[in-house]
Structure 1
Amino acid sequence: MRGLWRCRKPVSWPAATTPPIPCWPPRPNWRTGCWRRRPAKPDHRARFLGLIIAAPRSGSGKTLLSLCLTAALRQRGLTVQTFKVGPDYLDSQLLGALSGRPCRNLDPLLCGEPWLRAAFHHWGRTTDACLVEGVMGLYDGLGPSQEGSTALLARLLSLPLLFVVDAARQGASIRALVAGFREQASELPWCGVVLNGVGSLRHQQLLTAALEPTGLPVLGCLPRCGAMALPSRHLGLLPPAEIHHFQGRRQQLADLAERQLDVSRLLPRLQASRGAPGPSPFLATSPTDAPPRPRSSGAPGPLLAIAQDQAFCFLYPEQREWLEHWGARTQGWSPLADQPLPEGTAALVLPGGYPELHGATLAQATRSLRALQAAHGRGLPIYAECGGMLLLLRTLHDPDNRPWPMAGILPGAACRGAFQLGYRRALACGSSPVVRPHEQMVGHEFHHWQVAPAHTPPHPGAKPT
């Protein structure tokens, strides 16, 4: 029920029961003699767990605003759990580096709603504040639908929206933009607007006045500032390890937030509902036909070597945690540093990253390449995705189209091609350590490098894969 509702006579609720709608004290309607009960103003601090940052489109300033708020909260001595909507690795790494704890991705298309809810309530209740950075535009999802969008996630988790708009070269038209987006999601709670790219005090005043009829408060204005721009390349922002003095920027980001954002008004929205965390998402979504290996067993679990360096840095923290949950041991391994495989390695994981930018160095990492070839020759399982698979090819071309020899376990060469982006579905044709026959998988494709068939034979020790 919404709005006002009427009854024929005054209503009194027994002390042991609760009225169906929280309300202010009932007030008599002197015109009709009836009583009216009005729904209470919602206490968002009690209902919500953090907030979500949304925007009209990509490039509006979601990441900058998220980093500013995270840095400001850390400077105030608060712990922050950050989340990122969608499959993005790079924004998550930046947020995790500033918050001091892994940023968790929330992608209903890849993980499903049970995992998403369990993950949010498990990790979101362990800190003082909770912040979710949205993906692309507010309603952008799978194709023309809102499936997987920021708006869908806000509905699923009952999160209020903080709307950031790139206000550069805009004036009174910003009212139509904000009002139109709000009208499409009027059922969601909107806590305010942050203006990015504001050119001057006069520009700020004009924009603020234009937004007054919307009823949404302007909770901050970020100025045009080239010094705060985050460096990027062909797959997006640089990882924090490659940004010069990234940790030194924390103070700059915190100072920018304190100067330009109304942090005191945003803080009640950001504060998480502390308490016992929800059940682990690994328990909430584990399959029932394969119980995890008992941790109390004296025998150590199998050791999985995970490639992890600047060339192979696209790894969700849950991947390693999931393996350890099932009883495996994990250890990092750097092909870029020409390290041998850890002793006792039972399987390998090669995540994505930027091997194409390190072709010359990887080609000279003969010890690592020989270790890969020997592991394959012994029949060890090798799980590779995206850039990790490029390491297994015979040849990898760098951005200047120079070819470099790789492990040669798989035939073919990789070179720069058309940009590929989007969610993909695949059907397993056979059995493997990670899929069963006819099992359907969902993944996300985001890359420039393409694999072309090679006419030369692969490594002599290679077997059909």
Structure 2
Amino acid sequence: MSASRAVLIAAMASGQGKTTVTAALARSLARAGQRVRVFKCGPDFIDPMLLELACGAPVESLDLWMVGIDECRRRLADAAHTADAVLVEGVMGLYDGTPSAADLARAFGIPVLAVIDASAMAQTMGAVACGLRDYGPVQLAGVIANRIAGSGHAHMVAQSLRGIALIGALPGQAVTLPERHLGLALPHELPELDALFDQMADALELDHAAWQSLPFFDAPAPMPSPGLPPLLGGRTVAIARDAAFAFLYPANLDTLRALGAQLVFFSPLADEQVPEAADAVYLPGGYPELHAQVLAGAQRWRASIVACCAARLPIVAECGGMMVLADELTDPDGVRWPMAGLLPGVVRMQSRLAGIGPQALATPAGSLRGHTFHYSHLETPLAPALHTVRHPSGDAGEAVYRAGSLTASYFHAYFASNPEAAACLFMRGAAQPAGDCVETVQLRVK
């Protein structure tokens, strides 16, 4: 058994304060001298960025379907044998999704720490806590009551829990993390973020005795990472990375390196061209709609990606990366901005969620798993080459467009789910032509 305590921090629904509580708890424990590792359950880009700053260590994803049970086990084992506390932030409600956060907790024997918004209830908190525990059931380590009004309110909540430990409380007036349409704000948008985490840790009324009474996590023995064939050996993959292209799984970079690729980064927002050494280009997702005016004026970047397509370099464009390759991008204010023009059509932002959930992409090397989450829509005359498959329904998911050497979709791939399939995307000839990209580029330049 490891000398680490582990909890899965979950709630009855989104919006209960899981990320705020996880960040506050991580910072509180770290300031007390504990080594803290944090994981995020399910597909997510923004929460891990924030939680990494809160705990001071990399934050990886855990998901039984997308990441796989063996890799989840390896990551948990490594963390449990090197840290004093392992925190896993859940996704949506405790039992939402297939697989759910509860499934992950049961698979590895991780007790659940329930975050419950107490702002509009008192004694009913006990019913919610018991329901979360018994429905699955799950092993419930205790409760953290969020948005508590005061000591009297906290006492009523504690009395209602019927023996379930109230491990902590966060006052309703405590600082919270600002949000926008794709989730929480990004770290670079919050210059006082480090001080914010300290304020959150100060506000968290943690029962240290209750925390110390939690049993140590029965973690499996550490396991080595499996080796990969050097399918991308000798190849350089250029990756867009800046405030507009920030949605990138660290595991994707690790997988590309493990496949033998050399990675170079560039910033379209800074009007940097694709590096000349590139053998392939990766345009991950992000917030291009918030930077549309700057991207529209980035002439060197736009000319370089057009040249890459003309030279038939493999280009993989995910979500925001695909949006900047359309003819136009309509920003949240309704202003239309010219983009690179490699995909015919217009991207329009909308107030309703346009796509969400786990999906898989079929490739010659097998299925590549990932997810989708977007508020925009691409209106294009280009016919999809294929569609992803939704999990677990098996229904058709996101359109995948292929034009020459370009593969573009709203689908975010998790490369570690099938490294060989990921490698195929970055090899010449991987994309099946759905129209001649070179001729399209030449026509648009004229």
The Cα offsets for residues 123-178 of structure 1, whole Å up to 9 and x where unpaired, read as 4433332111111111111xxxxx22110000111101111110112022222221
Task: State the 1:459 CA deviation.
Answer: 8.0
Between the aligned partners of 2:169 and 2:361, the Cα distance in structure 1 is 48
The change in CA–CA distance for 1:84 and 1:268 in structure 2 (over 3 A counts) is: farther
Task: State the 1:454 CA deviation.
Answer: 5.9
Between the aligned partners of 1:273 and 1:151, the Cα distance in structure 2 is 17
The change in CA–CA distance for 1:119 and 1:451 in structure 2 (over 3 A counts) is: same
Q: Structure 2: which 5+ residue stretches go unaligned?
A: 383-435
Indicate the SS of the match to 1:380: coil
Indicate the SS of the match to 2:168: strand
Is contact 2:356-2:373 (8 Å) kept? yes
Indicate the SS of the match to 1:292: coil
Is contact 2:327-2:341 (8 Å) kept? yes
Task: State the 1:56 CA deviation.
Answer: 1.1
The change in CA–CA distance for 1:421 and 1:266 in structure 2 (over 3 A counts) is: farther
2:113 is equivalent to residue 162 of structure 1: yes
Aligned residue number for residue 230 of structure 2: 292
Between the aligned partners of 2:437 and 2:346, the Cα distance in structure 1 is 11
Between the aligned partners of 1:114 and 1:275, the Cα distance in structure 2 is 11
Aligned residue number for residue 75 of structure 1: 31
Between the aligned partners of 1:270 and 1:246, the Cα distance in structure 2 is 32
The change in CA–CA distance for 1:98 and 1:463 in structure 2 (over 3 A counts) is: farther
Of 153, 164, 172, 1:203 maps to 153
1:49-60 matches, within 5 Å, as: 50-60=6-16
Is contact 1:399-1:416 (8 Å) kept? yes
2:378 corresponds to which letter in structure 1?
A: V
Task: State the 1:354 CA deviation.
Answer: 0.4
The change in CA–CA distance for 1:153 and 1:426 in structure 2 (over 3 A counts) is: closer
Between the aligned partners of 1:443 and 1:276, the Cα distance in structure 2 is 28
Of 238, 252, 269, 1:319 maps to 252
Aligned residue number for residue 275 of structure 2: 342
2:356 is equivalent to residue 452 of structure 1: no
In the superposition, the TM-score normalised over structure 1's length comes to 0.78
1:113-124 matches, within 5 Å, as: 113-124=69-80
Of 179, 182, 201, 1:254 maps to 201
Aligned residue number for residue 91 of structure 1: 47
2:290 is equivalent to residue 360 of structure 1: no
The change in CA–CA distance for 1:152 and 1:292 in structure 2 (over 3 A counts) is: same
2:443 is equivalent to residue 443 of structure 1: no
Indicate the SS of the match to 2:378: strand
2:379 corresponds to which letter in structure 1?
A: A
Aligned residue number for residue 263 of structure 1: 208
Between the aligned partners of 1:224 and 1:276, the Cα distance in structure 2 is 41
Between the aligned partners of 1:246 and 1:47, the Cα distance in structure 2 is 30
Aligned residue number for residue 410 of structure 2: none
Task: State the 1:236 CA deviation.
Answer: 0.7
Task: State the 1:328 CA deviation.
Answer: 0.7
Aligned residue number for residue 179 of structure 1: 130
Is contact 1:125-1:273 (8 Å) kept? no
1:292-441 matches, within 5 Å, as: 292=230, 301-417=234-350, 418-425=352-359, 428=362, 435-436=363-364, 439-441=366-368
Is contact 1:125-1:275 (8 Å) kept? no
Q: How many residues align?
A: 389
Aligned residue number for residue 432 of structure 1: none
Indicate the SS of the match to 2:193: coil
Is contact 2:3-2:84 (8 Å) kept? no
Aligned residue number for residue 278 of structure 1: 223
The change in CA–CA distance for 1:93 and 1:427 in structure 2 (over 3 A counts) is: closer
Identity rate of aligned residues, in percent? 38
The change in CA–CA distance for 1:266 and 1:181 in structure 2 (over 3 A counts) is: same
The change in CA–CA distance for 1:427 and 1:66 in structure 2 (over 3 A counts) is: closer
Indicate the SS of the match to 2:96: coil
The answer to which structure has the higher strand fraction is: 2
Task: State the 1:190 CA deviation.
Answer: 1.7
The change in CA–CA distance for 1:273 and 1:249 in structure 2 (over 3 A counts) is: farther
Indicate the SS of the match to 2:286: coil
Aligned residue number for residue 65 of structure 1: 21
Aligned-residue CA RMSD (Å) = 2.7
Between the aligned partners of 1:113 and 1:76, the Cα distance in structure 2 is 32
The change in CA–CA distance for 1:410 and 1:446 in structure 2 (over 3 A counts) is: same
Is contact 1:48-1:160 (8 Å) kept? no
